[in-house]
Amino acid sequence: MVFHQTQRRSKQSKTFQNAGEVRSNLGLVTYCGRFIPDLATISAPLREVTKDAAPWSWGTEQQQALVQTRKRVAQCCTMAYFDPAKKTEILVDASPVGLAGILAQHNASGELSIVALASRSLTPVEQRYSQTEREALAITWAILHFHLYVYGGLFTVMTDHKPLVTLFNNPNNQAPARIELPKTVKIDDIRTATQQDDILQHCINALVTGNWDIALKRPNAQQKSDPLWSLYKIRTELTTTTNRDILLRGTRIVIPHALTQTIIDIAHEGHQGITKTKQLLREKVWFPESDRLVEKTIRDCLMCQATAMDNTRAPLQMSPLPKGPWLEVSVDFCDLPTGEHILVVTDDSSRYPAIEIVTSTSARAAIPKLDRIFAAFGVPQVVRTDIGPPFNSSEFENFSDYLGFRHRKVTPRWPRANGEVERLMRTLKKTYRTSIVDCKPWKQSMYQFLRNYRATPHATTGIPPATLLFGRPIQTRLPQTTQQ
């Protein structure tokens, strides 16, 4: 009797009565999503009826989608273990409502074995992309999704959209910014682009011959808006390599016009502001009208505009700098909506930041992370914190006695007393929000920001934090000469 009753309920449950029941079913199916090909596309009609603004209706499309998802869940999809020694492929596809990716490898017989499946639905904005943009978005999303497997190795991306082969394999083609990968610019890329840049070739010839007359006879060459005129004005600072394939202004590389936007995008990784991005570029490279192009790029950056805060205050009275780097540090927690926390440690002298991600703000969770940071950079003389529970505990007092640093507590309920680390936390939260808006892994975005922040001259010291702390500049993804 129980068996028949269960059967009867199963038949009745093939359709749903409200959006809540559909959401519950989608949650169960999504849990198995890594084993279901094209799940985002198949389940699109079911997601439509779960939207808050949509009136409840159950039709043929929803019923077919329900049958298909149940059928896919019931099917067995055999997965293989990932082997770094095997040839790897990422197969991607895009529909009007979803993206799909398959990570596969060639087995001993040459056949493809599936390692992982992935899919996601498109946002309403992404659904309005052209088909070429959706197919390109599938490539960038799949590579980021399978980053853990393919990073640092060779792999092939397979797509059924032929135009993308030309778009991604030709460096001279400029893809739309919303689908383009931020490729690292290498010295060889700059050499190639310099040889193809008419303006830079005129400039290099003028430097070698010492005669600018031929170059300046070009149409509009003496107008202030012409890039060659900008080069002519700084001609005494310019030099070229022996092979005449790279132009330098002092120790900074002059970037060809074809690569300027890519360079700006790389410098803007982590979404630093206009001033910081300009300072980072000035450390490594130069090109005409760089300031104007940086300002335009950042003002057009949707993530920056969506997350920027307008909260101006009177300038703070700055405390005197310590006598040397890593003698005094400030520590605090940055709370995230995920329930995780970022333990932030900032050197009060060099402004060099170090972070650790923790799941609790207790002293027991914080002390091992601080111990690891102090093991890497040395034990400071003074550690400045607020009077929060982890720093006001007997465990932290014992920790300070053990390592021998002096624990200084700032004024209660006055965050600006620990202003440097508080300001950095605001920037870290902005980086987190921009990564969420941009649908990118927030932890990776955090490390991208730190890489650029540590190499950018600080507003207070005028020197990059890493240079002050280590006594040398650190390498970033921007191209640079071997000596700085």
DSSP state of 43: T
Do 362 and 291 belong to one domain? no
C-alpha span between 440 and 410 (Å, rounded): 36
Is the same domain home to 110 and 133? Answer: yes
pLDDT tens string, the chain, 484 residues long: the values are 333 333 433 443 457 778 778 887 777 677 666 667 777 788 888 888 887 767 787 888 888 888 888 787 767 566 788 898 899 999 998 988 888 888 989 887 778 888 888 888 888 878 888 888 889 889 988 998 888 888 878 899 998 888 888 777 765 665 555 555 576 788 888 999 999 998 899 899 989 888 888 777 776 666 667 888 888 889 899 999 888 899 999 989 999 998 999 999 999 988 888 999 999 999 989 999 999 999 999 988 877 877 776 656 556 566 677 889 999 999 989 899 989 999 999 999 999 999 999 999 999 999 999 999 999 999 999 999 988 888 989 999 999 999 999 999 876 555 555 667 778 888 899 999 999 988 899 999 999 999 999 999 998 889 999 999 999 999 999 998 876 5
Phi, then psi, of 105 in degrees rounded to 5: -135, 150
Phi, psi dihedrals of residue 365, rounded to the nearest 5°: -80, -35
Q: What is the pLDDT of residue 6?
A: 34
Residue 88 CA: distances (Å) to CA of 106, 153, 231, 450 = 7, 9, 46, 31
pLDDT attached to residue 26: 79
**Residue range(s) defining the domain that contains residue 275:** 187-307
Whether 82 maps to a domain, the answer reads no
Q: The CATH number of the domain where 367 resides is what?
A: 3.30.420.10
Q: Kind and range of the H or E element at 261?
A: helix 260-267
CATH number of the domain where residue 295 is located: 1.10.340.70
Q: Do 22 and 65 fall into the same domain? A: yes
Q: Is residue 50 part of a domain?
A: yes
Note the residue count of the chain: 484
- Helix and strand element counts for the chain (H, E): 21, 13
Do 97 and 61 reside in the same domain of the chain?
no
Note whether 301 and 193 are same-domain residues.
yes
Global pTM reads 0.52
Asked whether residue 456 is domain-assigned, the answer is no
Q: Give the chain's domain count.
A: 4
Residue 452 lies in a domain: no
165 and 208 in a common domain: no
> At 120, is the secondary structure helix, strand, or coil?
strand
Tell me if 469 is assigned to some domain.
no
**Residue 3 counted as domain residue:** no
